Amino acid sequence: MTENDRFPMKNKTLKTSGLIIFLTGFFVFVLSLTLSNYTLTGKIIHRQGNGERLAALTDAAAPMLNVTYASNISFVHDLKEAIDKANRAIIAKYSIDEKVGEKIAEEAAEDGKYIFRSTLIDKVLPTEDEITKYQNQTFRDYAGWLEGKTFDNKEALAEQLVFVIRNINNSLSYKKAFDSYSAKNLLFWLTKDAASGILRDNLRLWIFLSFGLIILGAFLYFYSTYYRGTIAGIKNNGIFMSPATARGWIGIALGVFMISFYIMLYFYPEYLTNWVLLVDPLSYRLNGGPASHWFLYGTLYTMAVAVMGIRMLLKYRHNPYQILRTLSVIFFQTAFAFIIPEILASLHKPAVDLKNIWPLDYDFFYSYNLDELMNSGMLGWFMLFWGIALIIIAVPVFTYFFGKRWYCSWVCGCGGLAETLGDPFRQLSDKSIRAWKIERYLIYSVLVFAVVNTAGVLYTYFTGSYSVLGIGTESIKSAYGFLISSIFAGVVGTGFYPLMGNRVWCRFGCPLAAYLGVVQKFKSRFRITTNGGQCISCGNCSTYCEMGIDVRWYAQRGQNIVRASCVGCGICAAVCPRGVLRLENNDPSDRFNTPHLTGNESFREPVDAPR
């Protein structure tokens, strides 16, 4: 047996070894969630600061202080109850009895009428201490609109005053107690700080046994699959028979894992504190502080793009366009989205991702972001004008010359993850007319939602009013954050890779993709040209189009592909065995011409074309 005969066997051994190493690292990574004990102390609570709320929490958490929990779940359960108990105590302390409204109504009698005057509050709620002082002042603030109003009977005035008192009491949950955001944030940090044991004591070892083995195993697997001993060409062998890439049991299990991770990340990060501990050393090096769950997400995101980017480089190594595109998304994700913002945070500057563009960066015009930028000196103002310039100048200009691919396939972090981590699942994108119709209505609806949301927050920012036409701007903002940013972009957009393909968010939900697509559709030099005479209808182009475009339909007719959704990834051209497809930047006035048809006829696509 010659060396060449033995080589495939060695390659299979290397591939199997890589898979085993990867699975071992992944198992350790999941196992690490169980490797801590949790002990809450008064010192840990007071690390979060001082004040009445934390003092109330210390009292409420007294039964669990200095008690060691072996389970994260039981610890979080008891800590949640303690926070709720502290909230109830604070609210009970500052709430106003509804009978106060009835007493004020009785005191308001004047000549058979009942007239509300703020001076009546002093008679019923005298300022004896800090608590009654707060109650008195808050009552004045909330009841100001009633000043001087006359009522025919005591009951009518009392009803209005009780309504005021209920609003005051409801406001205590965020004015005096822990609101939902601060309670969740506190729950996370207390759980993380309370963790102790083998994981925290041996972080570097567990980092190697998890992240280290995952990266090493993945590299060995990709190297043996796409490079060592393989001939030139793109390898998609067995992709429709693999349980991982054909909606089989591995793909479903992976989808469930990714969906579960996103749900935990967005809504229950306190259960992921052990994973956050694993990235603490990196966080201290980059920004000088402990890692949050968002730093964990950024680390995993960047690692996924880099590791799977290596796979892309090996798989498409004979295609210069794909090599440059992959290197670009790795660079922008690593430098612009991860490292630079963390360094800016360490310098106490706005941690801005300079490549993020509204409306994908939906909170760019939120008041807290605008205030932070404008209060950060020249750098902050530069970032503000840079962000606006990207929206009104960069998008139309670059899209005119290069199509939406300049951003969606070369710069965007969402696109970068889709192109790298999602590449094994691109063939799962639905190419049906029904999917195309849903896509058009859904993505432009999200764009309209994003515009309305931004208009609402800007209206509030400049006027101070939180209501437009009877609709609360805060409720619009909350709805957008939950439905679009969390559920659609995160849980569905990424978690559904193994089930619906790798561009679910980009295709159906991204408002920036919709904006770019409108420019590309009607005013761009970019297009994919086809040579219909050379098409053999193999279907490779349509199969591997991640945006659900039936490319073959156009190729068979020799029509240029003018689709708002096309991100110009170039995979359709890369997998075409006849060189039928080309990514070109030509004269936009000629974008509907079909030079490969007899007579060089020019016509527009039929109405029923699968755009």
Provide block-wise average pLDDT over 10 residues at a time, the chain (611 residues): 51 91 97 96 91 93 95 96 95 92 90 89 88 90 89 91 90 87 94 96 96 97 83 83 94 96 96 97 95 96 97 93 96 96 93 93 93 93 95 95 94 95 95 93 96 93 81 88 93 94 95 95 89 88 94 90 90 92 71 38 38 41
pTM across the whole model: 0.88
pLDDT at 112: 84
The confidence score (pLDDT) of residue 558 equals 87
Residue 606: its pLDDT value, please?
38
341 prior amide bond cis, ω within 30: no
Domain 525-600 sits in CATH at 3.30.70.20
pLDDT at 417: 96
69 SS3 class: strand
Give strand pairing partners of 529: 582
The single residue listed with the structure tokens 């107690």 is 177
pLDDT recorded at residue 398: 95
Q: CA–CA separation, 548 vs 425, rounded Å?
A: 12
Instruction: Give pLDDT, residue 316.
Output: 93
The three-point CA angle 482-488-492 to 5° equals 130
239 DSSP β-pair partners: none
Report which DSSP code applies to 593. Answer: B
Q: What are phi and psi of 228, to 5 degrees?
A: -65, 115
Place of tokens 């504190």: 273
pLDDT at 569: 94
Supply the pLDDT for residue 58.
95
- 63-98 as b/e, with b when 16 or more CB fall inside 10 Å? ebeeeebeebeebbebbeebbebbbebbeeebbbee
Strand, coil or helix: 471:
strand
Token match 């990266």: residue? 215
Using alpha carbons, select from 77, 65, 63 the residue that is nearest to residue 40.
65
At 229 the pLDDT is 65
Tokens found for residue 198: 């083998």
Secondary structure percentages of the chain, helix, strand, coil, to 5: 65, 5, 30
Alpha carbons 550 and 543: distance in angstroms, whole number: 8
Cβ atoms of 373 and 380 closer than 8 Å? yes
CB-based contacts of 579, cutoff 8 Å, min separation 6? 531, 534
Sign for the CA dihedral angle at 12, 498, 422, 571 comes to positive
Domain edges within the chain: 34-93+180-190, 94-175, 261-523, 525-600
- The pLDDT of residue 237: 86
